[in-house]
Every structure is written in C-alpha cells, then in structure tokens.
Structure 1
Amino acid sequence: MSEVKTAGLIFICFLLLHGFVAALNCTSPTPESLLNALEKELFPKKLLRPVKRFSDTLNVTINIAVVGILGVNEKAQSLTTFIWQIMEWNIEGLSWDEKECGTKRVSIPREKLWVPDVHISEFMDEDKSPKTPYVYLYNTGRVFDDKPVRVVSSCRLEIYTFPFDFQNCSLTFEPYLHFASDIKMIQGYAAEAILAGSRRVIQTRGEWELADIKITSSTLEISDGTYSDITFYIILRRRPLVYVVNLLIPSCFLITLDLFSFLLPPQSVDRSSFKMTLILGYTVFLLMMNDLLPVTGETTPLMNVLFSVSLALMVASLLETVFITAIQFSSSQYSAVPPWLSVLVLQYLAIVVCLPPKKKNNCITVSIPPRAADTAMNSSVIYSRAFQSISGGTPLEKPPPELALDELRKLSRDLKAIRLQMDKHFQGSNTSQEWQMIGMVIDRLLFGLYIIFISVSFITIVSLWIWNKSLEG
C-alpha cells in the first residue's frame, strides 16, 4: 500500500514538473504517430483547464476582424455585423519536436480540446454563422482558434445628426463563467492594425462604412468575484449622399418655392391657392420619403425637426395669406385696431422689417356755407328756370323761396354724402388703412423669418457635411 502511495506522489510531482501534459514522443514523423501521442497525453484531459495548478491564470488573447456591416436597426437599437473571432491560448507543458513528429502545427477537432467559454455580452440573437470544427495546435502548445461569427448586438444609436451621424457600438468579449483569476483576456494586435486589416477584408459597401476601431480592457466586479473582458468599439459612419439627394434637396426646392410666393400680391387669390398646392405637394413628399427616415423613440433626428418646421412655416404662411386677403377685402368692416396691437406692430415690428408706417392724412375738407340772401336769390332763379323748362310756358313771376331753399339743402346734403362715400372708397378710412398696414408688416415679418430659417438650415447642413468629410479624411 505504501508503494502505491509513493508511486502516486512521484507521478504528481512529475506532472507538476512537466506541466499540464508532458512533451510528446512521436515514434515516427507521421500524422498517425502524432495523433496517437495526442490521444494518449492531451485528449483525455479536455475537461480540465490547461494549467499546472488551479491557482494559475490562463491568458486568452483575443483579436477580431470586421468582415461585413450587415445592417443597423434604429427601432430595435441593434447592430448586425459579421466578424472573424481569433482566440489564442497556451496548453501548459505541451510540446513536441518538429523533426521528430514531422510538423510544426496540426489541425484537430475543436471538441477534443478544452476551449474558453468566451462570449460577446451584447449578443441579442442566435449566432447563425457557419460552424468551423477545427483549430490549429502548434508544437509549442499554442492553440489558434479562428471562426466567423454573425453578431446581432445591442447598440445605443444616436441619430440626432442623421444623415451625418456616427455610431459607436461595442463588442465586449468576456468569459461566461470563469473569473479573472481563472481566465484573463489579453488584447492581441493594436487597434490601428485591426482597423487596417478590417478595411482590407471588409466585403459590404452599403449605407455604413467603418470609420474607426478602439479597444479597452477592464474588469467587471460583482459580489462573487471579478471578470476580465476586452471591449472593441466599432465606430461607423453613415454615407449621407442618398439622403441629401432624396430628402434634403427636394425639401429645399419646395421651401424655396414657398419663399418666392411672397412676391405675389397678397390680395391675390392665386397666392393662397399656390401655397395650398405647395403644402399638399410637401405632405405627399414626406409620406413617400417616410421609409428613408429612421424610427426611434429616444431621440428625434435633426432632419425630422427641419421637415416639421418647414411644414409649420408653410402652414403659417398660408394662414397669413388668408389673413391678409381678408384684411384687404373686409378691413372697412372691422372695428378700430387695439392700441397695444397698433403700437406693437406699427411702431416696433414695422421698424424691424424696415417698413415704416404711412403718415396719416391730416387734411380736412371745409365747406363754406353761402349767405342766406344769395341762396334765396339763386334758388329763386334756379327753380324759376326749372319750372319754366318743365311747364314749357312762361316762368312764375314769384317762386316760393322756402320751397327752393329746402330743395337746395337736400341737394347739398346728397352731394356731401356722395363725396364722403367716394373719399372712403378711394382713400379708405383710418381704421382700414391701419389694418392693411398691419397685414403688410406681418407679411414682411414672415418673409424675413423664412429667409433666416432657410439660411440657418443651409449653413447647418453644409457645416455638418464638412465636419463629416473632415473626420473621413
């Protein structure tokens, strides 16, 4: 019994001195000989972590290469990419002589080895990429595991600057079960080398392009222990040309047409009908282009705000045209302008829009009544001649002066009423003129707001485009 214990201790000491497995001895430099040696020394231990002691930490090196950017789902906040995942780790104590066994490396089935349980924490869907059953095993005990992975990962998308937006999505590689004391994730190549390699092998040339890759390593602390992880930040840039051509340029054309519609006379009915046609066309345009706009519940893209404000300005210009047209045709029926409105519009806003108010006409029509004697005499003469022309005979020798005076007064009042009506018709009352002036100031103010809005929108779009191009360079 003591001999068995002694032999067991010697075997354990031998394993501790030579590592997880001993150096392989091949009887001949043939695949069969190397496979037999692996079957004897390595494959039976595939359930154990390949280290000398349980307290030893296994270093797993991770690298990736972005092969394709398959899509970005703004509504689901997810990114779909196709990557090559490359992991490397060492099997302690495993080695063989290249000349003795006939090769420096050999491909063996993945299920024959212990493989780290490294996963991507942002995974949202099943991996549907093709399975690779083999890994490379080198004569130094180095394991090289390269496999394709179709990753549907969660990503917080920021689409405020759409279509000039950048998206920063992360892929975090970490062990699912093993703590940092068991498995430590090690960064392989530098971020610049991974970016250059990804750009060489990337296949898709769609809406998105790979702008940059950044790498950070960290440890996640929980109550039971800490996890080691490596995070790759995939920075994507959207190609904005298709959205500029299909969305921004047509929208700018329609807004410009509405801007030039202010050159039409405001009292014309054609101006309001023209604006109604533009609003209808802009609404149909937004409905047709709705599929091109991103849909998300967190942030509203700047372009959506631009379209909403443009539509609001079109509706406001139509309402203003209706208001001015009503003033032009019905201002004589309105009551007096409120003092606060007159001061605000005619004194302040009129100066802002460079439209000084018209000066009021202070001329007063004064009629001088004739003398009573002249009136009586003239009335007698007029009515005498009138009676003579009617009767066809000799005029009355003495017409009644009271009747002539009354008729003359009625005629004077009728003439004054006709003159006042004609003055009101051609010159308008003070109230009507004030309302018409208010309409002109509001029309000029909205025209200025239109110019400012179009200028700011154009400058913003050009600035975002230049900024996008500078980051690309």
Structure 2
Amino acid sequence: MAIRPSYGSLGQGSWGGPRGAPLPGPSSPKKLAACQLVLFASCCLLLQEQSCVAAVKVNCSRPDTYSLYTVLNTALNNSALRPVISLKTPTNVNVSFTLYSILGVDDKQQVLTTFIWQVLEWDIEYLSWDPEQCGTERVSLPRVMIWVPDILINEFMSDNKSPQTPYVYIDHTGHVYDDRPLRVDSSCSLDIYNFPFDVQICSFSFGSYLHYASDVTISQGQPVEYILEESLNVMQNTGEWELVNISVMDQTLLTSNSTYDMVVYNLTIKRRPMQYVVNLLIPSCFLITVDLFSFLLPPESVDRSAFKMTLILGYTVFLLIMNDLLPDTGSTTPLINVFFSICLALMVASLLETVLITNILYSSGQYPNVPRWIRILVLQYLSRLVLLPQKTSQSNRVTVFLNPGVQDVQVVKSLEGGGNVPCQTPESQLDRAAVELLKRLSRDLQAIRQHAEKHFKSSDSSEEWCQIGHILDRLLFAIYVVFICGSFIVILAIWNKAVLKSERA
C-alpha cells in the first residue's frame, strides 16, 4: 500500500508573527477582524456536536429562471466550505469516466495519452427546492459558485491542457453533476516483452490531493460494465491501440496522520500488430527465405558468398531504417529483438558455411590425400544421409609395356573392372639398333607414365575433396533448414504463450 507524505498542521506563529509574540490589541480594523475569526472558530469547535450549517429549503417567489438563480445565489454564499450540515459528516464523491480516445503510448517515456470525460457527483446536503414551485428540476451554475472537490488522477505526468468547462449541474435535491473533458498524460509501466503482440494494463487513480478520508470519501460512480460499453461506443480513433477491458478497485493511501481514499480504474489495452507484422516480420521472413534458397546456387559457377554478403548488408540497413518502430528496450528485451538477432545470426552462419565450402572446392588440389576416416565417414555414411551417393570414376589410362624377352610392344588399356586387354603389334624382325631405340623409348615412356600416375593420383584426391565439399554443403543446408524451422516454432510458441498469459491477466 502506497504511503504519501503528510503535511504538518499549522501551529503557533503560523499567522505571520513570531512564535510566542503578544497579540495586538483590538484597536485597528485588522486586529478586530482577527479577533472575530478566532471567535468564529471557537464557536464552531463548541458546536461540533450540533449542526454548523442549517438546511436551506429554497422557496421561489415565481417559477422562473431569474427567481431561482436569485435564491440560489443567496443560499450558496460560501463556496469555501464543504457542503455538509455537520463537519463530522464526510462528503462522498462518486467518480466515473468515459474513455473517448487513446491518443498514443510513448514506449520510451512510459506515458499513456488519453482523452476522457470525467464525471464527479456529490451532494449539497443543505440545499433543495420544489421543482414545481421553481419551474425546473436542475440548473447549471458556474463552478466557482460552489465547493468543488480537489479530485486528481495520481498518474498525471504533465500540465493540464484540457479544455475548460465553467458550469456544473445541480438538481432539486442538491445533487451536483460535474462533467468535464480531460486530456490525460499518465504514467504507465509497460511490459514490452511481447511486442508487437503486447497487452498493457494502465491505471487511473482518482483521489483527493488534500482532504483526508474522514472529510472526503471516493467511490465508484457508474458500473464498470456500463463504462466499458459506453467507452467502446463513443471511441473515435482506430489507431494503434484498442480498449479491451476496464476494472475497478478501492484503495487507501496511508500516512502518519490519516488516510486518503481512492478509487482505481485499470484499463486493459491491446496493441494492433498489423503495422509491425507488415513492416518488420514479413520482410525479415522474406530475406531469410531468399538466403535459404541461395544454397541452390552452384558454388562452382556462381559467387554465392557475394550474394549472401549483399543480403546481410541489406538486412542491416533495413533494421537501421526500421529502428524507430521498435520500442526502447529498457529493463526488458522484446522478443522481436531476439527474432531479429536470430535472423542475422543465421545469415552470418550461412555466409561462413559458403566460405568453407568454396575453400574446399577451389583449393582441393592443394590438400593432401583424404584421410581414411574422413573418406569412410563422409563418402560412405554422410553421403547416404544427405541422399548424395558417391561417384565412381572411370579410368581411361593406356599403359605401354616393353617386353625385352619377346622384343615386342604391348598396349594395354585399363578398364573399369580392373582387367587389361593387350593390343598386339605386328611382329617384326628388328635389328639391334632398333632394339636399343625401343629401350630408350621404353625408359622415356616409363617416366611419362610415372608423371601421369602422379597427376591422376592428385586428380583423384581433388575429386574426393570436391565430393566431400558437396556432401558437406548439402548437410549444412539441411541443418540450416532444421534450425530455421525450430527457431521460428519456438519463438512463435513463446509469443503465443505470453500473449495468452497477458490476456488472462
């Protein structure tokens, strides 16, 4: 329960002179007036158990407006005193309002701006008249003619810029009806975790700033069902916020000397999220989808990394432009900020994956032979997991053998199955010089063969690394898809749970 600091009562010396100074004699008019004031206060204290103000029954000489106003002007001759017969009787003020418009909510300043029609009702106990004799059941009088309670909204955060209405209604029983428009800039503790699907609860605490509960009591005027229905009927704007519910409760402020009576209206308002869904969420989903489909670009012929870098830069500029639509984080980070961070992190991870795959594909010739465990893990198991079977290479190499025993040349072609088919050359009788020439040719061909085998072996290793790169690219693409779907499902579930919890609250 809130505590408001109290103000001490006036003591000796509070009339302008020094404490304990002798009172002046009744020789001057000012001194005489002071003595009369003290005498009047003493009389009221002596007559506490009796009525300080007598009931006034207004008798109109004629049933016309002038006659009634003349009599009321005489009866309501002191607007400084509470309109009660006994000073021990508290004045009960009924408070109600109609919410006419929600002008806006400042997320950064935590301020709710609304326009309401405030209604205060209380009774002048000592005033009444006969409607038939005076010709009317109610009249409108200037507010300055009567006592008006100092009812304020405790959440006020700015100067009162409301239009002035100088009149109030008084009916024949002495019941006062004070209806006035108010522009209310009130503080409101906003919970923006669910932005833009957030539901906020803001309070209007109506109470007297000065009068204790023993003097002025505050109570609810119209039923909250009527207030809610009337507010929904007259509400004009269709802006960002909509009214969901209104509830009311009584509250008491305690001080060291006394208590203050209050009535608190709780307004439940809900943000219309369509603007933020169209301007923030849908473009982010589109960019993530484009980044996802960029995996279909062949890394051998297209610079995929440049494309992804362009997406990241475009998304960063998009967030900077739309930053004004996002609320100030304050003590709570909105879930939508987490969503944007995940989207940006996914794009960066996609770029790093592209850099890795591109490096494997274009630098495979510089790598050593594929280790056996990598060949087994990736080429045999992961290739089946990502539905990318291992490619079998066909060898078109031709091996030439020189058989010195038979002095002939055999040409053997290696087939896919590993068998060799000899190609017989026509037998010829060569002289010794020809044999020596063939031997030299054989040595040259053997050197060429060794060089070719080394080249083919390097080509096989490079091809294996390329296959590993393609398999890893498809595997990381699948992981990327699963992570995107999982992240979006988790965020939407948290959003939905938080929104349902806020609506129930």
Q: TM-score, normalised by structure 1?
A: 0.79
Given that 1:66 and 1:202 are in contact with CA atoms closer than 8 Å, whether structure 2 keeps it comes out as yes
Task: Tell me the equivalent position of 2:105.
Answer: 72
Matched residues in 2 for 1:17 and 1:95: separation? 17
Q: 1:331 to 1:226 in 2, by over 3 A?
A: farther
Matched residues in 1 for 2:280 and 2:201: separation? 25
Letter in 2 for 1:449: F
Matched residues in 2 for 1:410 and 1:162: separation? 79
Return the offset for 1:300. 2.7
Q: 1:303 aligns with which of 336, 339, 358?
A: 336
Deviation larger for 93-102 or 193-202: 93-102
Matched residues in 1 for 2:276 and 2:497: separation? 13
Given that 2:370 and 2:461 are in contact with CA atoms closer than 8 Å, whether structure 1 keeps it comes out as no
Q: 2:317 aligns with which of 264, 284, 297?
A: 284
Q: 1:26 aligns with which of 39, 60, 69?
A: 60
Given that 1:337 and 1:434 are in contact with CA atoms closer than 8 Å, whether structure 2 keeps it comes out as no
1:118 equivalenced with 2:151 (yes/no): yes
Q: 2:277 aligns with which of 224, 244, 250?
A: 244
Matched residues in 1 for 2:313 and 2:295: separation? 18
Return the offset for 1:433. 5.9
Task: Tell me the equivalent position of 1:39.
Answer: 73
Q: 1:422 to 1:131 in 2, by over 3 A?
A: same
Tell me, what secondary structure is at the counterpart of 1:287? Answer: helix
Q: 1:77 to 1:111 in 2, by over 3 A?
A: same
**More helix by proportion, 1 or 2?**
1
Task: Tell me the equivalent position of 2:27.
Answer: none
Return the offset for 1:404. 8.2
Return the offset for 1:212. 1.2
Deviation larger for 57-66 or 101-110: 101-110
Task: Tell me the equivalent position of 1:162.
Answer: 195
Tell me, what secondary structure is at the counterpart of 1:289? Answer: helix
Structure 1 residues 433-444: aligned runs within 5 Å? 437-444=471-478
Matched residues in 1 for 2:371 and 2:257: separation? 76
Q: 1:458 to 1:264 in 2, by over 3 A?
A: farther
CA distances 1:134-155 after superposition (whole Å, capped 9, x unpaired):
1111121111111001000011
Q: 1:60 aligns with which of 90, 93, 112?
A: 93
Return the offset for 1:264. 1.8
Matched residues in 1 for 2:272 and 2:433: separation? 105
Return the offset for 1:426. 3.9
Letter in 2 for 1:179: Y
CA distances 1:311-334 after superposition (whole Å, capped 9, x unpaired):
221122112111110111113434
Identify unmatched segments of 5+ residues in structure 1. 362-367, 381-393
Letter in 2 for 1:422: F
Given that 2:360 and 2:465 are in contact with CA atoms closer than 8 Å, whether structure 1 keeps it comes out as no
Matched residues in 2 for 1:97 and 1:336: separation? 113
Q: 1:157 to 1:14 in 2, by over 3 A?
A: closer
Q: 1:232 to 1:81 in 2, by over 3 A?
A: same
Q: 1:339 to 1:310 in 2, by over 3 A?
A: farther
Identify unmatched segments of 5+ residues in structure 2. 1-38, 393-398, 410-428
Q: 1:14 to 1:252 in 2, by over 3 A?
A: closer
Matched residues in 2 for 1:17 and 1:395: separation? 154
Letter in 1 for 2:385: C
Q: 1:261 aligns with which of 294, 314, 328?
A: 294
Letter in 1 for 2:316: T
Matched residues in 2 for 1:244 and 1:280: separation? 21
Task: Tell me the equivalent position of 2:225.
Answer: 192
Letter in 2 for 1:326: N
Matched residues in 1 for 2:444 and 2:54: separation? 131
Task: Tell me the equivalent position of 1:417.
Answer: 451
Matched residues in 2 for 1:43 and 1:260: separation? 84
Task: Tell me the equivalent position of 1:128.
Answer: 161
1:355 equivalenced with 2:386 (yes/no): yes
Matched residues in 2 for 1:459 and 1:152: separation? 35
Return the offset for 1:459. 7.0
Q: TM-score, normalised by structure 2?
A: 0.75
CA distances 1:109-130 after superposition (whole Å, capped 9, x unpaired):
1111111111000000111111
Task: Tell me the equivalent position of 1:84.
Answer: 117
Tell me, what secondary structure is at the counterpart of 1:211? Answer: strand
Matched residues in 2 for 1:454 and 1:119: separation? 47
Q: 1:147 aligns with which of 155, 169, 180?
A: 180
Task: Tell me the equivalent position of 1:171.
Answer: 204
Given that 1:19 and 1:51 are in contact with CA atoms closer than 8 Å, whether structure 2 keeps it comes out as yes
Given that 2:364 and 2:462 are in contact with CA atoms closer than 8 Å, whether structure 1 keeps it comes out as no
Given that 2:365 and 2:459 are in contact with CA atoms closer than 8 Å, whether structure 1 keeps it comes out as no
Deviation larger for 165-174 or 31-40: 31-40
Given that 2:62 and 2:133 are in contact with CA atoms closer than 8 Å, whether structure 1 keeps it comes out as yes
Sequence identity (%): 45
